[in-house]
Amino acid sequence: MNLKDTSPEAQRVQVEIYRRMTTAEKARRIFDAYNTGRVLAMARLRERYPMASEKKIRQMWAQEHLGKELFQQIYEEMPDG
């Protein structure tokens, strides 16, 4: 892994930190990063569509996240989708 904005020494330190983490700690970091991305994406949708309901915002996020085809398959099967 070669990050252009990170020095080789900083990369070595980062890799060592990741190596010392338990699987649960790594999973928690991944979940937290995913959740942060979801929150930011939904905030962007709320800003873009201020009159949309929370349900509509969640649906728009899901469609962006899943893609149109998978979104339709899932939401067509849901009651009150």
Domain regions of the chain by residue span: 8-77
Looking at residue 75, its pLDDT comes to 83
Instruction: State mean pLDDT over 48-74.
Output: 93
Q: Which amino acid type is present at position 10?
A: A
How would residue 55 be classed by pLDDT, with cut points 50, 70 and 90? very high
10 Å CB burial of residue 40 (0-12, 13-18, 19+) is exposed
Residue with tokens 């070669």: 2
Average pLDDT, the chain: 91
